[in-house]
Structure 1
Amino acid sequence: MIFLFFIALSLGRFIEYEINSTRDLIPRIYNSLFKIPNKGKTNWSYSFVPTIGPIIGSLLSTGLIWIII
């Protein structure tokens, strides 16, 4: 947990760090549909990380568990 805190502390300001994909993806979609003044561009190049990353991680860990068991 402390590791995640330091990641957020060091990178959050620069890449809009989010772990929860719902808290990251929904505002990006909203900002794309309805332009919010003074918000800037939506960084879609990073949006796949909090969305696809947990899915890939869970599939890999499930596969590893099946191999071990």
Structure 2
Amino acid sequence: MKKKIRLEITAAGEIRAKTIGMNDEECLDYVEILEELLDAETIDSTFTEEFLRAQQHQYQEEQTEVKQQTEVKGE
């Protein structure tokens, strides 16, 4: 999937940004850039479902690897 940033400007003048196609902490690299470009300050930030799914998948892979290494050692 192509990496994108979707911006929304609300009627109250708030600017909301959502990253698309970024599955790791790479999205955090864009916070400072957006603040500078938009002359804005981050008030609130949350991870997208994409990020959380990727983190969960990575954790599960790491746990599987640890389990396999433990079985090989005979523990």
| Fold equivalence (TM over 0.5) | no
Q: State the structure with more CA Rg.
A: 2
Task: Choose between structure 1 and 2 for higher RCO, CA contacts under 8 A separated by at least 6 residues.
Answer: 1
**TM-score normalised by L of structure 2:** 0.37
Q: Which has the higher helix share?
A: 1
**TM-score normalised by L of structure 1:** 0.38
